[in-house]
Amino acid sequence: MTYDDQIGTIGGGNHFLEVQRVAEIYDGQTANAWKLKKGAVVIMLHTGSLTIGHHSGLLNRKICQEIYPVGLTHPENKIYLIPEAYEKFNAWNRFWSVSGNAANFAFANRLFLGFMIQDVFTQVLGACDLELLYDAPHNYIWKKQIGGENYFIHRKGACCAGGCEEMTGTAYAYYGEPVMIPGSMGSSSYLLRGLGNPDALWSASHGAGRQKSRGEAVKGNDEAFRQFMEHFHVITPIDPNRTDLRGRADILKKWEESVRAEAPYAYKDIHEVIAVHTAHELAAPVARMEPVFTVKS
């Protein structure tokens, strides 16, 4: 089986590529160090390991199930423990190899998308510079030593937000780890610097977070959806205005549902989310970005 067609794709759900304009600078020193200025155009990418990540998760569950003690009741939540023990080293190493491969593919996928958007910009605008500020994975497991003991931090729906101490020896040692928190489609996104809060396990949100499930967002909300579509131009592989699609109610229905599921009213207010991060000293705002256009699958 080949997954070559996965490279350079956005994926579904809340994944996106967004061209943004820096609207506000809150921390001039950090923004200057990170080469950001008001009015600049930036790219934010949110995508991951796609189908490879899905199959990696299934394989890792299988690895854990295979070594689960016979006779014990299996966990209802299907979350299986994997011991770091000599007699289980083969399973342990397979687990981490699979996880690492998925993470590496996710990085490569984002890298390819970055090259692709740079190529588009160059074709339209001529030579332009597109420099990576930071690549921040989420939904992954990090090994960290705390109080002399080794622990594993699983950040599901969260990203790293290390402070200056955690970033010692890197280019971010004087400012903290870059934290990107996108809002809903069409709303502002924020760039922050991590403050290394141990009470939050050195973590921050990786997005505004949903206030409606995808199922709830698809149903009703007609007026909110109409206003959203009037004010924003969302680019997807399907153009609902194509003449050859006018009679394809089935395709148009699926297209509309996919857009409704990720519309702004389905998500929490991004400004309130950032205020919580600031109040609890999880991360400090550096800049706010506004969307120019959003590309979704």
Q: Using alpha carbons, select from 172, 177, 84, 82 the residue that is nearest to residue 138.
A: 177
- Where helices occur in the chain by DSSP H, the ranges are 28-33, 50-66, 89-125, 214-218, 222-231, 249-261, 270-279
User: What one-character-per-residue DSSP string does 124-181 give?
Assistant: HHSS----------EEEEEEEEETTEEEEEEEEEEEE---TTTTTTSTTTTT--EEEE
Contact 260, 225 (CB under 8 A): yes
- Print pLDDT tens along the chain (297 aa): 455 677 777 777 778 889 999 999 999 999 999 999 999 999 999 888 888 888 999 999 999 999 999 989 999 998 888 888 878 899 999 999 999 999 999 999 999 999 999 999 999 999 888 899 999 888 899 999 999 999 999 998 899 999 999 999 999 999 999 999 998 777 899 999 999 999 999 999 998 888 878 788 888 778 888 888 777 777 777 877 788 877 788 888 888 788 888 777 888 889 999 999 999 999 999 999 999 888 876
- Give the catalytic positions in this structure: 206
Strand partners, 285: 192
